[in-house]
């Protein structure tokens, strides 16, 4: 008797080919590099990704990258969504990778964003504390779920503008799509968000920028602070200053 065994589904390999993509390097030493990621560049390779990622660009620049994490995302200790612009920290050594991962786990790395959202945010400062989990009907999205992981976002209004509200955002936790899902749940979705905003609010590029990043280097304990202005297509970008992002 012949027995046919079902073959396991093969996962397409991640493309780790070096790519020659210019990078805006904000900070670099022998342990870490901070890049101001442009819009449209994914953080790391994925089986469904057809274009080069930040990892491919770093490999193309012959940047030393940590191998302490997953093989398809060398050096990556946190990520930004493909259409989110701004600062991302990459580890060059395994020691630095473990050190930065520990800082993220204990919420000691500061990550602050600028966002333009629909409507008028009613309070000058506010705190959103809603647990998040994968949406049960759409796995691309995150949703408020009492069984999900704790997620806390702090907001401060910078200005009321014609398109909505310009706000500063500080992450206390770092869940997938946290800012976008929290603001959508609060009924002030990020303009240009093709996952969480209604169609009439998708005419803009995604108005979310990681503008401030602070971390402590392993060994020396030196604190590093980085700031990057939003891109040209960010609304009222001249109001996004380092001081404005430090409000929440």
Query: Given phi > 0 = left and psi -120 to 50 = alpha, else beta, which region is 227?
Result: beta
Place of tokens 């991302």: 88
pLDDT of residue 13: 57
On the CB side of 227, how many CA atoms lie within 13 Å of its CA?
9
- The question of whether 81 is a catalytic residue gets the answer yes
Residues 6 or more apart in contact with residue 205 via CB below 8 angstroms? 39, 83, 192, 233, 234
> Each residue's pLDDT tens digit in the chain (248 positions)?
344 444 444 445 577 889 999 999 999 999 999 999 999 999 998 888 889 999 999 999 999 999 988 888 999 999 999 999 999 999 999 999 999 999 999 989 999 999 999 999 989 999 999 999 999 999 899 999 999 999 999 999 999 999 999 999 999 999 999 999 999 999 999 999 999 999 999 999 999 999 999 999 999 999 999 999 999 999 999 999 999 999 99
pLDDT of residue 16: 86
pLDDT of residue 9: 45
- Rounded CA gap, 77 and 96, in Å? 10
Q: Are the folds of 15-106 and 111-211+233-248 the same?
A: yes
Q: Is domain 15-106 given the CATH code 3.30.2350.10 in the classification?
A: yes
- Considering the entire predicted model, what is its pTM? 0.91
Active-site residue, selected from the candidate residues 24, 81, 162, 233: 81
Decide which of 3.30.70.1110, 1.10.600.10, 3.30.2350.10, 3.40.50.300 is the CATH code for 111-211+233-248: 3.30.2350.10
Place of tokens 């060994």: 219
Place of tokens 């996962």: 11
Domain ranges of the chain: 15-106, 111-211+233-248
């Amino acid at each position: 008797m012949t027995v046919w065994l079902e073959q396991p589904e093969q996962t397409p390999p991640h493309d780790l080919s070096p790519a020659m993509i210019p990078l805006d390097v904000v900070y670099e030493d022998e342990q870490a590099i901070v890049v101001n990621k442009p819009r449209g560049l994914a953080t790391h390779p994925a089986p469904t990704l057809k274009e080069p990622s930040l990892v491919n660009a770093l490999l193309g620049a012959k940047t030393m990258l940590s191998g302490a994490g997953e093989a398809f995302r060398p050096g990556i200790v946190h990520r930004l969504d493909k259409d989110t612009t701004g600062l991302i920290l990459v580890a060059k050594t395994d020691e630095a990778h473990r050190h930065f991962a520990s800082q993220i786990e204990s919420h000691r790395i500061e990550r602050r964003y600028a966002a333009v959202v629909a409507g008028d945010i009613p309070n000058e400062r506010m705190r959103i504390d809603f647990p998040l989990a994968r949406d049960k009907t759409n796995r691309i999205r995150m949703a408020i779920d009492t069984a999900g992981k704790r997620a806390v976002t702090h907001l401060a209004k910078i200005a009321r503008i014609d398109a909505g509200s310009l706000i500063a955002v500080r992450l206390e936790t770092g869940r997938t799509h946290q800012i976008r899902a929290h603001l959508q749940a609060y009924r002030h979705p990020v303009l240009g968000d093709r996952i969480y905003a209604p169609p009439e609010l998708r005419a803009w590029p995604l108005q979310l920028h990681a503008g401030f990043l602070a971390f402590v280097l392993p060994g020396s304990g030196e604190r590093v602070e980085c700031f990057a202005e939003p891109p040209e297509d960010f609304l009222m970008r001249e109001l996004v200053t380092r001081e404005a992002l430090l409000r929440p």
